[in-house]
Amino acid sequence: LPSSCTGESAPVENNTCEVASGSLAIGYNIQCDEEEACIPCFINPNPDPDRRRRYEIRDLPEGHWESFEFAVNTMQNLTMDEGQGKYGPIFKNHVYMVAFHIFATDSLRGEQAHLGAHFFPYHSAFANMYDAVVTTITDYHNLPLESSPYWWPFKDTDQRDIVGPKYFGTHPGLGENYEVIDGRFANWTIPSFNDSLIQYEKYVSNASDNFYAGSIYGQLRESTSYLWQSTYVAFPRDPGMNRTGSEFQPTGLEDVMRCLDCEYDRDNYNIFHFAWCVQERWHVWAHAGLGGFRFTDEGERFNADFDGKQGPISPIFVPFHNTVDMFSSEWMSRYVEWSNVSWGYPYKRAFNYASNNTYNGINLFDTINSAFPMRWYDLGWIPFDGPDANKTVTYFDALCATIKQNADHVYVKFSGAPDGAPGEIVEPRNSSTHGTTNMSPGGQTATAWAEAGQDDLLPAAEAFLKAYNADSDNRLDAAEAFLEELLSSSEEDGKRK
């Protein structure tokens, strides 16, 4: 357990972190260079300078927040059939994403999303799958949004706008029973179990892997949930307090910066240690601060954001976990020379530090959440009808795709962040553009559906994509063939031209 990541005053000396002996049982984790050759992660030496940009919520260009709000509400209000009929197979509604998270956290094999090195690739892939839907919707409607925003949730920044009426509603909630009744997602509904989760079992490869059965109130909450309210709830931070004098109290940036400043060390500080550091010193407490605490009639203390799967139901979940993705991407990028060993990610006997156990499903080359898998087209990596579109996403895939040199987006440094914080400083774009020159694959898919008259171009485009994704020597020939076909198409179709 890195001394500089304990949240105490232990200093970081020479930018390294010493590990307290025996605090994390890393001997269980078997890294890929111990018994077999590793598969190196390709690192793009020349990232696209015009990649889509992820802004902090308060730094979004004009109109972008409204676009994000529109897309999230669309995901909340449409069924899967309605959404896929309009936007194509990449569409997922909001409850699908909640179900995906439930099947990972309640797997009978063991936790598939938290409490180990798998925390980062799981949540990066989850956030990017959500973003692929958001950008598909906004691109389809030609709305100004490049990528879903992130949230800078640290106490060095005034959070009253974020957890107030301007964005996600006042925390603690202003309703009679602490329901969040203001903000842009006021009275956000908690779905019923029978009408929501069961319908997603057709997407599940092994429904028997999951033991979740909903709450006693028939909601998408824990079976032991004390929450009976039908909308999102946020209690005060102190369980003994009422609303007066209580508000969301985030953790300090220094807690997670200590984790980020620890250098890679194969045995003493690899991605397993970094995952522990971020989860336990920051991520857990940000959730706790959002949900707040109450006491039951029996005097038991419980948290609203962890209770009953309410965390992923909230619209703030993805901006919050985009920040997790930003920090993991930054740490991997700082130590990119260790990408050839996947930053020490265990290729077998991956370890859960909370249960003190190893189990299948969370090793480097395992499919993420294999009982309810995501596929490459779900993340917008490949068009839905492209080669390998149905390939399932592994933890290795997600690590390689989300390091910042390879990601299809760039995190723009928050204007309120201090020196040394992650994020890139960029020049403003021309006001007439919003990333359409680098449209997301999801947006391209939706556009292709909307413009079915371009079917004659699809074979040439598919040939190019196949050559590109195979890292083929024929890339240039395929690209030239596609462009020739494009430019020779109907002059009357100005949009195609």
**In contact, 193 and 219? CB cutoff 8 Å:** yes
Query: 198-212, 256-270, 314-328 — which one is most confidently predicted on average?
Result: 314-328
Read off the amino acid at residue 61: P
Is residue 443 pLDDT above 70, yes or no? Answer: no
Is residue 266 pLDDT above 70, yes or no? Answer: yes
Q: What's residue 479's pLDDT?
A: 76
pLDDT in tens, 275-314: 988 888 788 877 777 777 777 677 766 666 655 466 788 8
pLDDT in tens, 4-20: 443 333 333 333 344 43
pLDDT in tens, 75-134: 999 988 999 999 999 999 998 898 888 888 888 888 888 989 999 999 999 999 999 999
Rg (CA), the chain: 23
Mean pLDDT check: name the lowest of 327-341, 355-369, 447-461.
447-461
Rounded to 10 degrees, the C-alpha dihedral 316/318/322/328 comes to 110
Read off the amino acid at residue 456: D
Percentage, residues of the chain above pLDDT 70: 73
Is residue 138 pLDDT above 90, yes or no? Answer: yes
| Residue 31 β-bridge partners | 346
pLDDT in tens, 146-182: 999 999 988 777 888 888 899 999 888 899 988 999 9
Distance CA 309, CA 105 (A): 9
Mean pLDDT check: name the lowest of 20-24, 57-61, 78-82, 256-260.
20-24
Distance CA 330, CA 396 (A): 17
Model's pTM, two decimal places?
0.80
Q: How many CB atoms lie within 10 A of CB 161?
A: 13
Q: Is the dihedral angle over the CA atoms 40, 45, 48, 51 positive or is it negative?
A: positive
| Distance set, CA 448 to CA 176, 192, 212, 443 (Å) | 48, 35, 38, 8
Q: What's residue 410's pLDDT?
A: 95
**In contact, 72 and 185? CB cutoff 8 Å:** yes
Distance CA 447, CA 414 (A): 31
Q: How many Å from the N-terminal Cα to the C-terminal Cα in the chain?
A: 58
